[in-house]
Chain A
């Protein structure tokens, strides 16, 4: 532990803590744009500058480790003047279109501009102009709004291990992009969107689906795999418009592509919400025709399937109704029990085998094997992860 003074108040902080962390831990706020607690300190935005006694020029709190006896000043008119200039410079190279920006209301840059009351700008001049050209259906990159905080680059490298993007060029022309400025071609995990403090990176699927203030947040567990990441569904008008994740959870706020973008099935009209009992004869191949249609869409169309899907699904639903009828749970359980009993009596318990799923919880999987062993009386229990 080291002893230090921040804004005249004495604190202790563990060795190796940054000045920023030490200050924040004690409720002293310092503005930041390029800092992320889980990523390597960067020191690029220069907003977190503080004065330290004995060091002739301001240093960044996010990169400077605390030392014994350090005396830190986080706020005074001079530091505020420097921060204001820095922000003004960022805004002088930023599209002035918050009114139509996806990120408005949830944007660190907007927030800071508001708190510093920056309306006029002394430095207006050339602005970087880029065309959006990505073909992918998931990540929207609007690099005119990028402030080069490098968080996306670091998360992609340090957390995701993909290194799909980096800064290219020098000086004013510096730009975050994939190699040779090609289209983004990566895992599409969306981690970069998650850390971007501005509207430079957003999800294509949530464009115009609603601002953060209208969103109700509901925590749940990701249904896709056994990792069980925590999800926060962002709901507007009873529809999931995007998925986020809290940082204080087991997955530390990180998600993969499925967790981030694979939520559309929830509101899909083809989704079964009630049990069905077949009414058509078994050899009817109508259903197979439908899934064949789905499968044979060409690759390029595959990408747009996510949105085009629904018309196909509607036809699925109508076909469903000619093959099945809706039933209650009691009714179907009775039916299943009756059929299992019959098979068991006729062919013995080992004629029945079972497959469970990685998308079930441990408890469900436990119950499942218990049911097979104790009720049906077979050890034919297996799991999708083996196939």
Chain B
């Protein structure tokens, strides 16, 4: 019997890190060695595919026999021979390794637009993209739509920028299209416009844009070409962080292939469109994701934001009208053109249309990349897609929007996830970071973590951000060390609000959000640190003490063996004791005790 066998190995950065390449090699070797019927081998094709989201279960492998798909999770090279023998040869999937219910739940509540082809097609082959309808949108635009009509479709779809600010994309394009003079030479016809794709993605924990570029770079390129046609740009840049080598490599490959197919360059698809794209590597400064800093950085200067107005659509790169869009925003464009504005706006809420990709991390069971319709309930994300809180603990809060965002407390878990609803509770959709926190997370420490990030990444240009965030951080630091003072909370609020109001760019204007939102919802926890010198979550080292509970201690001695400072004493089978003065609070005893006899707090 001849079977059509396809094996797909997840080869995004997550997959590769988990050993995707080894798994792929193992398959190649095993297939050969097992001497699988030559006729079978002939039909057996293997693909590298991009990220499919559930990174926690990498390496994911699809085995498709005559169209029937089986998914293996946590695949290791040494598992491959069994899969080949039992599944490919005997026809019996290896049940114990097949992805379980979790995998299906993880995907069921998601709606994939941007990620729909990620993980299905080979990102390094333009024909794979074309085979699933790629570049049809571009053809449609070039053959049957004027730039104005194209913009009208995007406006009607309700697409808003996915880079953080949520500005309506169609409107941004329209303003830029209509600009006739460039900022540096008013009243003069602008000879040049630019479109820039912002792939700087510097938020800690965010990897949405990386996944899109690694998994389906052509969707971004197609979006850019359509954007260029719409606004009248002939040059484009992708500003991408150098820390994403795989994404850069795939992007470059994709650009080369697109040029070969005359999708970039002069007279694209024989239409009157000239457009090409340059790749510009960012040097790892978070602030260079801010659009004006990004522009200055492309111009070859130190990446520091400049004041708006004038906005980039009027005076951007080299003083010329410039549209900057986020990766995910651009990747939506081909699908909107292909399937229609109405199709797109059928997802989401009244003001937030379409889907949004989030990087779901923290204390949920299933961490990874998810794409959900706007307006989905936060609890659906956490409990249905994320599979609930790990280790059966209680949900405490959800941090969204990264260092610019805020913490949403557990009692607000019924809210919809869209621009307006999140803003109402003091957080933001942002670029799509979503960190789930449980009862073992200290909110003061969380705020401090984000402040450490923003302070280190502040460009130093303006006073409120450069010095203000430093002072916020110092106050938070003394609170976590039990040195907080009366009035510190008011000072945090006061200073935080002043920084927000007086800073130059979005970084400073949002940097206090993690502090202000935790102060709003978890003030008691701050007060406990200051007044009772206690860290309720047991995180702040200076405020916790380890002790051994008499009723649980079996005297096994495990803690004595791991304590690096010799602070624990006790005879075998008798109650052990920690000498607090000698304890360095490393927590080793807490982790090692099998009987939960070590108490932290």
Interface check B79, CB cutoff 8 A: no
Contact A64 B309 (CB under 8 A): yes
Of A166-174, A247-255, A263-271, A273-281, the one contacting chain B is: A166-174
Interface check B458, CB cutoff 8 A: yes
Contact B463 A64 (CB under 8 A): no
Of A80-88, A284-292, A321-329, A360-368, the one contacting chain B is: A80-88
Interface check A192, CB cutoff 8 A: no
Q: Which one of A57, A59, A81, A93 lies within 8 Å of B467 (CB-CB)?
A: A93
Interface check B491, CB cutoff 8 A: yes
When A43-B307, A93-B467 are in contact, do A171 and B502 touch as well, CB less than 8 Å? no
Given contacts A46-B504, A89-B467, A126-B470, 16 further A-B contacts (CB under 8 A): A43-B306, A43-B462, A46-B463, A46-B464, A59-B307, A60-B307, A64-B309, A65-B310, A89-B468, A167-B302, A167-B460, A169-B460, A170-B287, A170-B457, A174-B460, A174-B466
Cα A60 to Cα B502 with chains together (Å): 9
Q: Which one of B456, B463, B470 lies within 8 Å of A44 (CB-CB)?
A: B463
Contact A89 B464 (CB under 8 A): yes
Contact A85 B498 (CB under 8 A): yes
Cα A196 to Cα B458 with chains together (Å): 23
Contact B462 A170 (CB under 8 A): no
Which residues 477-500 of B sit at the A interface, judged by CB distance below 8 A? 491, 494-495, 498
Instruction: Report A's interface with B, CB cutoff 8 A.
Output: 15-16, 41-46, 49, 57-60, 63-65, 81-82, 85-86, 89-90, 92-93, 122-123, 125-126, 147-148, 150, 166-167, 169-174
Cα A92 to Cα B467 with chains together (Å): 8
When A16-B186, A44-B504, A65-B310 are in contact, do A171 and B460 touch as well, CB less than 8 Å? yes
Cα A43 to Cα B504 with chains together (Å): 7
Nearest 10 interchain pairs by C-beta: A174-B460, A63-B307, A43-B307, A89-B467, A172-B470, A85-B498, A125-B474, A123-B471, A171-B458, A82-B502
Set of chain B residues within 8 Å of A150, measured between Cβ atoms? 461
Residue among B459, B466, B504 with the highest chain A CB neighbour number at 10 A: B466
Q: List 26 A-B contacts (CB under 8 A).
A: A15-B186, A41-B307, A43-B307, A46-B462, A46-B463, A46-B464, A46-B503, A46-B504, A57-B509, A60-B504, A81-B498, A82-B501, A89-B463, A92-B471, A123-B495, A125-B471, A125-B474, A148-B460, A167-B460, A170-B287, A171-B455, A171-B456, A172-B455, A172-B460, A172-B469, A174-B466
Contact B285 A170 (CB under 8 A): yes
Cα A123 to Cα B467 with chains together (Å): 9
When A123-B471, A125-B474 are in contact, do A82 and B463 touch as well, CB less than 8 Å? no
**Size band of the B side of the interface?**
35 or more
Which residues 178-221 of B sit at the A interface, judged by CB distance below 8 A? 186
Q: Chain A binding site: helix, strand, loop or mixed by DSSP?
A: loop
Contact A148 B466 (CB under 8 A): yes
Contact B306 A86 (CB under 8 A): no
- Of all chain B residues, the one with the shortest Cβ separation from A41 is B307
Cα A122 to Cα B475 with chains together (Å): 11
A318 to chain B, nearest CB (A): 56
Which residues 253-290 of B sit at the A interface, judged by CB distance below 8 A? 285, 287
Cα A169 to Cα B455 with chains together (Å): 12
Contact B309 A45 (CB under 8 A): no
Q: Mark B152-192, 1 if CB is under 8 A from A, else 0.
A: 00000000000000000000000000000000001000000
Set of chain B residues within 8 Å of A90, measured between Cβ atoms? 463, 467
Cα A85 to Cα B503 with chains together (Å): 12
- Of all chain A residues, the one with the shortest Cβ separation from B303 is A170
Cα A148 to Cα B460 with chains together (Å): 8
Contact A57 B501 (CB under 8 A): yes
- Of all chain A residues, the one with the shortest Cβ separation from B471 is A123
- Of all chain A residues, the one with the shortest Cβ separation from B305 is A43
- Of all chain A residues, the one with the shortest Cβ separation from B310 is A65
Set of chain B residues within 8 Å of A172, measured between Cβ atoms? 455, 458, 460, 466-467, 469-470
Contact B461 A49 (CB under 8 A): no
- Of all chain B residues, the one with the shortest Cβ separation from A84 is B498
When A85-B495, A85-B502 are in contact, do A171 and B466 touch as well, CB less than 8 Å? yes
Contact A170 B470 (CB under 8 A): no
Cα A82 to Cα B504 with chains together (Å): 13
Cα A150 to Cα B302 with chains together (Å): 12
When A123-B471, A150-B461, A167-B460 are in contact, do A49 and B502 touch as well, CB less than 8 Å? yes
Contact A170 B460 (CB under 8 A): yes
B392 to chain A, nearest CB (A): 40
- Of all chain A residues, the one with the shortest Cβ separation from B499 is A85
A307 to chain B, nearest CB (A): 36
Contact A45 B463 (CB under 8 A): yes
A153 to chain B, nearest CB (A): 9
- Of all chain B residues, the one with the shortest Cβ separation from A93 is B467
- Of all chain B residues, the one with the shortest Cβ separation from A168 is B302
Contact A58 B310 (CB under 8 A): no
Set of chain B residues within 8 Å of A45, measured between Cβ atoms? 462-463
A34 to chain B, nearest CB (A): 9
Contact A166 B302 (CB under 8 A): yes
Q: Which one of A92, A147, A170 lies within 8 Å of B456 (CB-CB)?
A: A170
Cα A213 to Cα B274 with chains together (Å): 65
B319 to chain A, nearest CB (A): 12
- Of all chain A residues, the one with the shortest Cβ separation from B187 is A15
Cα A125 to Cα B498 with chains together (Å): 18
Set of chain B residues within 8 Å of A64, measured between Cβ atoms? 307, 309
Cα A60 to Cα B468 with chains together (Å): 18
Set of chain B residues within 8 Å of A147, measured between Cβ atoms? 463
- Of all chain B residues, the one with the shortest Cβ separation from A87 is B463
Cα A123 to Cα B302 with chains together (Å): 29
A52 to chain B, nearest CB (A): 10
Cα A108 to Cα B340 with chains together (Å): 59
B44 to chain A, nearest CB (A): 51
Contact B307 A58 (CB under 8 A): no
Set of chain A residues within 8 Å of B470, measured between Cβ atoms? 93, 125-126, 171-172
- Of all chain B residues, the one with the shortest Cβ separation from A176 is B460
Set of chain B residues within 8 Å of A81, measured between Cβ atoms? 498
Cα A279 to Cα B493 with chains together (Å): 84
Set of chain B residues within 8 Å of A92, measured between Cβ atoms? 467, 471
A89 to chain B, nearest CB (A): 4
Cα A345 to Cα B460 with chains together (Å): 76
- Of all chain A residues, the one with the shortest Cβ separation from B509 is A57
Cα A81 to Cα B499 with chains together (Å): 12
- Of all chain B residues, the one with the shortest Cβ separation from A45 is B463
Q: Which one of A15, A89, A122, A170 lies within 8 Å of B458 (CB-CB)?
A: A170
Cα A59 to Cα B501 with chains together (Å): 9
Contact A170 B459 (CB under 8 A): yes
Set of chain B residues within 8 Å of A171, measured between Cβ atoms? 455-458, 460, 466, 469-470
Cα A319 to Cα B454 with chains together (Å): 68
